Amino acid sequence: MPRHSDFARFHALLSAKPRILLVCGAGLSASSGLPTFRGAGGLWREYSAVDLATPEAFEQDPGLVWLFYAYRRHMSMKANPNRGHHALAALAQKYDNVFCVSQNVDGLLEKADYPLEKLRKIHGCLYGLKCFNEDCDWRASNSTDDPLWPILAPASADVDSTNPIPLLDPAHPAPKISWDEIPKCPKCGAEEEYGLQRPDIVWFGEPMDDHVVRDVEEWIDGGVDIVLSIGTSEVVNTAASFLYHARSNGAIYVNVNLDAALPHHLGNLDQDDFAFAGDAMELLPKLFEPIIGDV
Ligand SMILES: [Zn+2]
């Protein structure tokens, strides 16, 4: 077995009670059946995520952007955590020296009972709401109503490959939801034109939440022995910067990704680093088996 994919060598590290940072991306949730809408083929209707996941898109057509997020929210509510999520949740429940940064907005780690105090979601969450007025700090963890509001019902129709819903078919016009139909922010919406409720998601071109970034940086500064990159493409700048920060502080790097064995990824490894190529759902239970037992 190549040294970089040696489970026994990884397990030996765990016996020294290392501080472990987990950096999770879309690959963790892929086996739960959630599309990411990033990259080639990731279209929703005729739009790419970049067309819809911006403040400019929301200002132009908040109803369309809300339908896109309502659809993703509905799909996430129906999805179940996979064995990868359960393995990380078990690790964080049984082991103190672990902290997780997730790029995922799907809520599946929470659904697997991952402890919230050891989790920071740098891109927000499909279940949160905030105000579109930048000067307003209103936020809410929304209900589990599905649809969230009656106007978003077209996004909550059940769908499978044999029963596509009209909302997903670009040949059908998308339902038109006007600016006035979007629920207002309860704090400023009566006075402010931009006081609309919007998804609590970090859109393209928007900064991360300062508090979230600071929490992660402080945890890294407390010392990281092992940093795992799990299903991330590492092209998202903030996630890449956390990995870089941990590695430059001396952490051993563990790449858990479908393409981890490709030459350019292996070339990125230092002597003591690891690369496990495959599905996080299969790999994570094996990697942490000495701590979590049989998940
Ligand atoms: Zn507001």
Residue 195: pLDDT band with limits 50, 70, 90: very high
DSSP state of 146: S
Distance 72 CA to ligand 1 centre (A): 24
Per mean pLDDT, which range of 40-44, 116-120, 258-262 is the poorest?
40-44
User: pLDDT value at position 100?
Assistant: 98
Tens of pLDDT, residues 138-160: 999 877 899 999 999 999 887 66
Rounded Cα distance between 227 and 154, Å, is: 41
Rounded Cα distance between 263 and 119, Å, is: 31
Rounded Cα distance between 197 and 177, Å, is: 14
Pairing relationship of beta strands 226-230 and 20-24 according to DSSP bridges: parallel
User: pLDDT value at position 233?
Assistant: 77
Rounded Cα distance between 287 and 277, Å, is: 12
Residue 215: domain span: 1-33+81-122+208-295
Of 238, 228, 241, the C-alpha closest to 276 is 228
Task: Check 85, 123, 172, 245 and give the catalytic one.
Answer: 123
What is the number of structural domains in the chain? 2
What CATH number does the domain containing 178 carry?
3.30.1600.10
Rounded Cα distance between 246 and 234, Å, is: 14
Structural domain ending residue among the three candidates 185, 201, 217: 201
Distance 256 CA to ligand 1 centre (A): 40
Structural domain ending residue among the three candidates 170, 201, 232: 201
pLDDT surpassing 70 at residue 289: yes
pLDDT surpassing 80 at residue 292: yes
Q: What is the dihedral of CA 258, 261, 265, 267, to 10 degrees?
A: 170
Is 123 noted as a catalytic residue in this protein?
yes
Tens of pLDDT, residues 216-234: 999 999 999 999 999 987 6
Q: Please compute Rg for the chain using Cα positions.
A: 20
Q: Same domain for 72 and 103?
A: no
User: pLDDT value at position 41?
Assistant: 61
User: pLDDT value at position 166?
Assistant: 77
Q: Same domain for 159 and 238?
A: no
- Which conformational region is residue 41 in: left (phi greater than 0), alpha (psi within -120 to 50 degrees), or beta? left
pLDDT surpassing 60 at residue 204: yes
Binding residues, by number, are 131, 136, 185, 188
User: pLDDT value at position 212?
Assistant: 95
Q: Same domain for 155 and 10?
A: no
Tens of pLDDT, residues 16-70: 999 999 999 989 998 898 876 665 566 788 888 888 999 999 999 999 999 999 9
Provide the mean pLDDT of the chain.
Answer: 92
Mean pLDDT to the nearest integer, 191-206 = 95
Binding residues for Zn(2+), by number, are 131, 136, 185, 188
**Residue whose pair of structure tokens reads 């959630």 in the numeric block:** 34
Distance 136 CA to ligand 1 centre (A): 5
Of 282, 215, 283, the C-alpha closest to 254 is 283
Q: Same domain for 235 and 294?
A: yes
Distance 250 CA to ligand 1 centre (A): 43
